[in-house]
Structure 1
Amino acid sequence: MARNVGLSLIVAVALGVLPAGGTPAVAQSAPASRPPAAAPASFPIATDARLAGDAGQTRFVVDLSKSIEMRAFTLADPYRVVIDLPQVTFQLPPKAGEHGRGLVKAFRYGLVMPGGSRIVLDTAGPVRVERAFVLDATEGLPARLVLDLAAVDRATFLRAAAIDNRLPREPQRRTERDGVASPGDPRPLVVVDPGHGGIDSGTRAASGELEKAIVLDFGLMLRDKLEQTGKYRVVMTRTDDRFIPLADRVRLARSREAALFISIHCDALARRDGGAEGATVYTLSEHASDAEAARLAEAENKADAISGVDLSAEPDDIADILIDLAQRETKNYSGQFARTLVGELKSAARLHKHPLKSAGFRVLTAPDVPSVLLELGYVSNRADLKLMTSEAWRAKTTESIVAAVNAFFHPRLAAPAETAAGGAN
């Protein structure tokens, strides 16, 4: 039997840094880079997904191991249909979602939080969700999620969306081992931010490795090595395969009064764009240092749109944040750490021919937290990819980052020791 599902339609106004269209430069619907674990018996399994129809009407169907609840809504700029689900184990065919049909250009899927999964359909223009329902399993047929879409003009889309109430935002969830200090703990707090996650896979190597998995492995090792020094408290923005909005990553650093924020990524270049290799350290600036930095910032800043986040509540103009005078001192500290980091990385990692760059990365916009974005290398470069997936390389490179952190904080950490020594005389 069919169960009707209430629909909520919301419109997002894209930020100035997000172009209204185009396919995001991140991998979207690929399987994880590591073999998937067996699905817990309690989680429904999605086994297939397909599209049918034309540019006027399109149906999207997902085969499921059992019936589930769902909610569908639309977002604009770029046009998307978002389907929120309870946690689902996706066992879809390889390359599912890479090619569209009818009103749908492509789709992607993944975990957005513990207990919650999401499917995002990229549509060719404004659409209306005409029907959304789940069919229970019948003899010979699995349970099915069904979504019927119809093309509409933008004015109709906006009028319909304005009628519905905004969806409540999901409360921010605490990270594991969140580094909260006991009263009087003077140790600096370092936030380690593995980029992407969940539905947002980041870049993808030709051989299937995903950025989100590479940087998570690296970030976890970096956390452990920083904690082993005993000098720092460490917070991870994510410790598993979940999506964290860019603004939440920044808010976490600010709310914990972080002393340093390190965002970890890896890049990719299409063959037509030429070859590139090596690690690069980025800091925040209103104007990109070169065309490659501008391209990367644009791609990374699309993460929220890619993952179905409503951007309408975000500031309209990132420049208001970037040029805030309150950031001047923070920018100086960010630049200081970036230079120190490049110096330490020289002995451990291959560096880009221009290893210090800057651009308008949203994840680096905390006005009171020195922040850098470290691109470990290029998944499109075989030599870089071999290094980034090597345990030995990760160990050596994370140790060089710890050395840079030690050098950055040395004056601050040395001062209490000198004061204590002076008091003992």
Structure 2
Amino acid sequence: MEFQKNKLIFLSIASLFCLLFVSLIFSHKGVANIRYVVFIIGLFYTWYFVKIIKSDLSIAILLFFVVALSSLFFNDLPVDESVRVLNWYLAFFAGCFFAIFLNSKTKILYAVFYSYILSYIILFVLLVSSNSEIGFENNRYLGFTPTPNAMGELIGLGIIFLMFVLVKSCEKKNYGIIITNISLLIISAYILFETGSRTAFFITIFMTIVILFLELKIKKYVVLLSTLFVLVFLILLQNKLDDSRMFRNITDPFSISSMQARLPIYNAAWNCFVDKPVLGYGFTNFGSCYASQKKHMEKKYSLVIDKIPDAHNFLLQFLAETGLLGFFIIMYIFIKGCYFSFKNFKVAFYILIAMFLFFMINMNMYLRELSTIFFLMIGFSFFYRTQLVASSTDSKY
């Protein structure tokens, strides 16, 4: 029997995919456990398993693991943190594996994305209605994530998906989905605003505009939808605009303390790369790198943070921690992932670009929820509707 025609297996895999997306919002440990389950199930499908691990992206991730391990070892650091890359590989494998099962089931796949969106909406309603202090930090909403910025980015990805589907629905005049998506967009935008994440907010807005202009073929809808969202946004948030941190000092962003503090961080990261250009200061070891540069930064800048765990920049992070070897490999993975997503699964392309922009300001890729989405989208795009998937339907188990 062709395993793609086995309805029970298909529904089980779709449910597992749905559960993984829900876990990205509700359960930090659940994300890891489900990835393990997917990997174990994949072992039973030998042909697919071998194809995945032999792919160039698979090899690239494993090579990055070797570089991460080496960067720690040659800096006399514990090598435990290199395991993080293997967790990225599990997410990549899960994306490839799900693509094999769901390659022609776009409706099922979109339903999975909607489960993700409903998850963060339900979580927000539950936390607010219960007056729980859990999920808020200094009046900024953070759900169950470590920071409000991370929560904002997770919600921003949901908004990008909704906008993409809305555009496609406008072209097909599917009014039911149009109304549903507009409603979910309004709710999602409100929750995003509650996180207070400037990075997530403005990058999400930028990406939705990009999607409107690049994907919407009927251009008269661009003005209509843009006007609608601006009006709804102003009506919902008019009482919060004056005192919102998102709009404060927007004309002079470097007057904001967090932006001022990033300059010495970026400078320190670059100096660390120059000091150790081949393997860097060690994977996930930016804190030590920054500490070595702190006194020098204090002579150049008026605002220097005492301790910082990451470089707040995707490119500088890997240059400082893993040198040129790690940097080129991670960029190859990202660029190849963008290529396959643009070619095979367009919504993943916009999600990956948005995540890259997020990580250029807030380097949250080391958070399990965000790294899982990142590598899940790369793996899914790599196998989705490819010749490999098409030819695999002829294999029987």
Do these two structures clear the TM 0.5 threshold for a shared fold by scoring above it? no
TM-score, length basis structure 1 = 0.27
Determine which structure has the larger strand proportion and give its number. Answer: 1
Higher relative contact order (CA 8 A, sep 6+): 2
Normalising by the residue count of structure 2, what TM-score does the alignment of the two structures yield?
0.28
